[in-house]
Chain A
């Protein structure tokens, strides 16, 4: 079957936006069935185009799928049935994998070591997210004399962070050094090797240089930094990371005025003139996805929610430059030219130090080796999704160790 989509102008991100590689994701649904039964009934009994057929949903317990019997372009599943169990408590999930009541369970970094000690295979999926810190309203006139308005000061704050320590002690070794904001090893149309080299140097730990830069910028004794520590849903470890970097900043003379926010309270602060965030640094994150432009647009466009470079009433040089490059990127069909444009967009933002990656996080799964054979996850995709049909039986492909 071929689906033909007509657009008014080039929409290079459309294939990714319609896939499950990015959020929000689109999905193609059968029009005749949808219109015949209506949205509510479609929700209860959905029909899709994948190799699994929906069987039933037991509210609060599980969703059942059955493998299709005809050949499928994504591959026929090795298992006849797939049950997605809804188990909110992580300890119970791990217990169920250990007893064999479940084959696979998603876990947090804190549980990785104990899952391994319990005899389970732990699969890590690289590039699922970046934990970052970013500066709000640094372009607003009300904070024009604040130290955080200076790119070199922001760079100094980055140099004061020992990312290896955070990876080892906060993330139990299950994280990686980051690349520039929203870029990963699998990012499309980007010079990923170049950016790996760049970030190995740029994101190094150098507190002596950090203090030197602060002195050169007129802050030999540091300054007061307002810092909002918050964790987005599903990544509670961001709070520990935020606490760790705040402590590291104190070692270069920064007096950190840290405020903890529960996620529910944070997004409204990004609305309007951002009075409670202007001049503040805050923890934030980005999800792993193959396309860079959309995430940059969401953070830096003057009409975006975050508006980190300027807004529609006040878009200065860097903000205008970003808009110019962004517009060129999304309209560029030549892959090589698009790569060059993406690289220049990343460079523009990286040089500003307005959003600074701290670590590149991973997704983690505990696996019962007797229930499912070895499989590889897709980098950047936290949920297993279409990996399910590729999972072999344990005797087909046993785990190596």
Chain B
């Protein structure tokens, strides 16, 4: 196991270096942030002064070397717009994103997994098709559109919930539904296919022959084994939530890292954008490693292999 962890950590390091390199160069293809900060009648001298003040003068390679050597010391740069260390800005907003992710995940699992079980048990029949339709709608519906429609319906027309911003429990409802909708579909489909596979297993037939009730067979024996691949997906989904919250947080004006990413892109805040992507990469790599380790403990066959 320790060998496995060491290998995964080394792989993660390689991925991080690649991510840092790609985001550094790709970000700078989009233009110079000084052009967004200056009015249209700024002189060439104004522009040059600001470029120097922002540390964006010098060749790209020189800037990259400076960036890497600072990053190795734990300094991912200073946000051009907020004039604060980029890591601090990220960490100040991360709790706001982590506040909605567990709820979105819980919603997706509470709705998606039972739907998947029901669909598998009624394979080919009306309930299966209905669940399938819900799944397709969940995957196909853009979260941007869904968020705006939910705001229109529940805030503007019905007046039941607030339109946006972070606040009390009522502020969580619409962003959590928007964020969780896509995941619900994923959980449902995976649970369904996993359950169908498990229902054909020999040990399930044995359980029935032994006279166990159908509900015990399904919810205790089948579901437990069907959830193993779902557990793997859980790690991927958390990663998707962290990156995918960009749209939801922007629509609902939620002050999390997703919205921070959007702002960093719009304002070409290169140091902040680099820091966000690198730190998110670290987060996702860590989550995936933890999930893989858990997977090994849950499934003894993985440990043996």
Contacts and interface: CB of A to CB of B under 8 A. Distances in A.
B155 A59 contact: no
Nearest to B35: A267
A98 B156 contact: yes
Contacts of A87: 164-165, 253
Interface in B165-179: 165-166
Nearest to B253: A87
A88 B253 contact: yes
A393 B140 CA distance: 46
B177 to A, nearest CB: 15
B83 A40 contact: yes
Interface stretch (A249-257, A298-306, A326-334): A298-306
B31 A295 contact: no
Interface in B217-263: 250-253, 255-256, 259-260, 262-263
Given A88-B253, A99-B156, A287-B40, A264 B83 contact: no
Given A40-B83, A59-B92, A265-B31, A285 B268 contact: no
A262 B31 contact: yes
Which residue, of B35, B89, B163, B256, has the highest number of chain A Cβ atoms within 10 A? Answer: B163
Query: Chain A: interface residue count, which band?
Result: 35 or more
A184 interface: no
B30 to A, nearest CB: 5
A196 to B, nearest CB: 24
Contact of A286 (B30, B40, B251): B40
B166 A61 contact: yes
Interface in A104-132: 118
A268 interface: yes
Contact of A284 (B30, B40, B44, B163): B40
A60 B163 contact: no
A34 interface: no
B40 A99 contact: no
Nearest to A284: B40
Interface string B88-112: 0100110010000000000000000
A294 interface: yes
Interface stretch (A89-97, A144-152, A218-226, A361-369): A89-97
B163 A96 contact: yes
Give the one of B31, B162, B268 with max A CB within 10 A.
Answer: B31
Interface string B128-165: 00000000000000000000100110011001001111
B229 to A, nearest CB: 36
A271 interface: yes
B40 A92 contact: no
Contacts of B35: 263-264, 266-268
Given A60-B259, A92-B251, A305 B148 contact: no
Nearest to A297: B41
B265 to A, nearest CB: 10
A323 to B, nearest CB: 15
Contacts of B259: 60, 88
A133 B187 CA distance: 53
Interface string A238-270: 000000000000000000000000111111100
Nearest to A86: B253
A91 B93 contact: no
Contacts of A232: 40
Interface string A25-66: 000000000000000100100000000000000111100000
A84 interface: no
Contact of B152 (A40, A43, A95): A95
Contacts of A264: 30-32, 35-36, 268
Contacts of A24: 38-39, 42
B47 interface: yes
B43 interface: yes
Interface of A: 23-24, 40, 43, 58-61, 85-89, 91-92, 95-96, 98-99, 101, 118, 232-233, 262-268, 271, 284-287, 294-295, 297-299, 303-305
19 contacts: A60-B256, A60-B259, A61-B253, A88-B262, A89-B250, A95-B155, A95-B163, A96-B163, A96-B164, A99-B156, A99-B162, A263-B35, A266-B35, A267-B31, A267-B32, A268-B35, A271-B44, A287-B40, A298-B41
Per CB-CB distance, the 3 closest pairs between chain A and chain B, nearest first, are: A264-B31, A60-B255, A298-B41
Given A91-B148, A95-B152, 5 more contacts: A43-B83, A61-B166, A85-B165, A86-B253, A92-B251
